[in-house]
A and B are shown apart, each in its own frame.
Chain A
Amino acid sequence: MKRWIAPLVAAIVALPVTAASQEKIVHFASINAQTGQSAPYGGKVIEGVNLAGKAINEAGGFTDRCGGKYKLKITTSDMANSREQAVSLLRQSAGDASVLAVVGPSPSTGYVPMVPVAAQLKVPIIATGSAAPIKEWNPWSFRINTVSKVAVPSFMRTLESKFDVKRIALIYDVTQDGQRGEAEFIRNAAKDIGYEVVAFEAFRAGDNDFGPQLSKIKAAKPDWIGIYGATPELAKVVNQMAGLGVKAEMLTGFGTFNDPVAWDLTEGKVKGGYSWSAYFALEDPARPEVGKMVQAYKKEYGHDPTLYSFYGWDAVHVYVEAVKRACTNTDREKFRDALNTIDNVPALSGKATFKNPPEGENLTAAVIVNRTTGRGTFEVVK
């Protein structure tokens, strides 16, 4: 009997060691802007990504559909809002065989040039906030966040059905690809939805005088004005509209009217403006997972998350879901195919659905139509 005891004890001791050695590591490279002008967004995505990785690992990792156990490894690199660095970092990540996929950047400056390179290197990548239109999608590129292309038709249909929109004037920042893209989507959707674009005026970031554009808009007598620019320029346009006596309902994208800075810069003139935004809340009784993440985030970083933190968190969870379906931590093609089976998977910022080709957009990203009611406050229209 005694001679069995030693091997038995050894086997029991070795059991967890064996189990641990069977646990695989899934390596995601996270490339975003930690420095430069997009750092306020990129930094939040990185925090969301890292928190998601930490939470998953602390919960013991995850198990795929084939019974394989995994833990996450996330390496972060700064692209500094530079195209060159974004592409270089993607090439470096793709060259590392242990990297299964890349959590891509929030600035379009990085994501747009990464899209063709991802196809060339056959490495999956997912954007976490980039809004610029992608001219040529490929099966390796995805985007978790809500973009104008998905949001604008829904937004405009809601406004049309509720307020019978007829004549729209658009004024947009020609130097911001996301803002310009949104204005173009509204112009292009006019016929389908049933309104007319009576003016389409451009300006540049940093401009101060919008008089010529607004005079043309006033002469066109629109009943709605779409203003597409970053908060400082948007505020200047709104202020000068009041000065010139241009009266029309206002609309914009990305929830910019709800930005407290927009309220302050316009002294409240953005009140009553309509915009669309992605889902974001610090507390939502109907969704306890939101509050749970927010608390963990505050504990980890000492400040509140933003929508971009949600995107980072969601990107990691969608990737983990794809690993569970693909049963691999190395086969990028299998992983990419599994991403395309993601259908209505719950995410903090809404839901995720991918059907690529033809495009890598999240087809079920949340779109909330809202009306600004005060400084940083709004009511949901739909």
Chain B
Amino acid sequence: MSELLNFWTPIFITAGINSIIALGLYITMSSGPLSVAHAALAGMGDYLGAVLTTNFGWPFPLAIAAGAALGFVTGLFLGLLIVRMNELVAGLTTLGFGETMAVIAFNIDYIGGANAFTGIPLRTTIGLVYAVLVVLLFATWRYDHSRLGFAARATRDSPVTAAAMGINITWVKSVTFGIGAALAGLGGVLRAHYILVQGPEDMGFFVSVQILIFVVFGGSYTFWGPLFGAMTLTILPELLRFSAKDRFIIYGILLTVMVIIRPQGLITRVPTGGASRARAWLRRSPRPTSAPSTPA
């Protein structure tokens, strides 16, 4: 039993942290923008939280709050920047932002440059990660049912109609980007205090794409989607360890198949036609018929 715990605890901690960052991207994407900057936003939280606890002796909760606050402010700024851009240009802008942050991190000796920032104390535990995740899931559920959540989805589905209905598109997009980035920053602080090292490559394009895959795979139309995506795609490679060299090939094939047969993600609010097909099937099935009553 203890061996099993030893094996799975680190994996579940990583899966929990990935879920928090993926939830952040879900909130950002709920109003439409495609962000390829969430790895950089998480990385900024990572660096700030790590520097505060390691070099200045800040308490961990304050470092978490600082990481989230930095994420929020940066996300708000990014949201304002891309609000009038089309989806492609906005995505490229976030990509540029992420890569710029990585280059800056490479060149700041104070945070270790290419050699990474080390010496971070271990503060993150599995209990803390899942407590934070549960709170954030509840908050995201409330967000989904809030005025902001409805406004964000309306903005995503049809910005023109949403604006015509009186929704302030600029405000909705920038605030949702900010909240999503805050979650990424928070996740970053947790990650830094578990991995104990933060390097510039953690902020790059490929890490951002990995977070995006979590959301796309699980489904970006409900908060269960990113949770399911991050959990599944973090745990799956571990389950495939029986085939060390081929596990990422199997992983890639599974991912491709899933995207082909279910492009809207595994968990979705969008009607897939499954319910109506089920109803039609039930209608076709033979029903017991009662014998016509004969007049006495």
Contact = CB atoms under 8 A, between A and B. Distances in A.
A113 B115 contact: no
B236 to A, nearest CB: 13
Interface residues of B, number: 37
B193 to A, nearest CB: 11
Interface stretch (A80-88, A298-306, A344-352): A80-88
A174 B113 contact: yes
Nearest to B17: A84
A178 to B, nearest CB: 9
A237 interface: no
A77 B245 contact: no
Contacts of A334: none
B118 A78 contact: no
Contact of B197 (A36, A116, A202, A204): A116
Given A35-B248, A80-B248, A95-B6, A175 B114 contact: yes
Given A35-B244, A35-B247, A84 B114 contact: no
Contact of A78 (B11, B106, B244): B244
Interface string A65-84: 00000000000111010011
A181 B196 contact: no
Nearest to A174: B106
Interface stretch (A1-9, A129-137, A367-375): A129-137
A136 B118 contact: yes
A204 B113 CA distance: 13
Contact of A133 (B115, B122, B201, B247): B115
Nearest to A116: B196
B159 interface: no
B118 A181 contact: no
B118 A175 contact: no
Interface in B82-129: 103, 106-107, 112-116, 118-120, 122
Interface in A121-150: 132-136
Contact of B115 (A87, A89, A117, A132): A132
A289 interface: no
A113 B107 CA distance: 20
A194 B266 CA distance: 65
B6 A91 contact: yes
Nearest to A39: B245
B213 to A, nearest CB: 15
Contacts of B13: 88
Given A87-B195, A116-B118, A80 B10 contact: no
Contacts of B197: 83, 112-113, 116
A154 B172 CA distance: 61
B276 interface: no
A112 B9 CA distance: 21
Contact of A135 (B112, B201, B241): B112
Interface in B194-242: 194-197, 199-202, 237, 241
Nearest to A132: B115
A53 B118 CA distance: 33
A160 interface: no
Closest 8 CB pairs of A and B: A95-B6, A88-B10, A113-B197, A177-B114, A91-B10, A78-B244, A116-B196, A177-B115
Given A78-B247, A112-B115, A175-B114, 19 more contacts: A35-B244, A35-B247, A35-B248, A78-B241, A80-B248, A83-B199, A87-B10, A87-B194, A87-B195, A87-B196, A88-B14, A96-B3, A113-B195, A116-B118, A116-B119, A116-B197, A135-B112, A174-B106, A181-B114
Interface of B: 2-3, 5-7, 9-11, 13-14, 103, 106-107, 112-116, 118-120, 122, 191, 194-197, 199-202, 237, 241, 244-245, 247-248
7 contacts: A34-B244, A84-B195, A109-B201, A116-B119, A132-B115, A135-B118, A176-B114
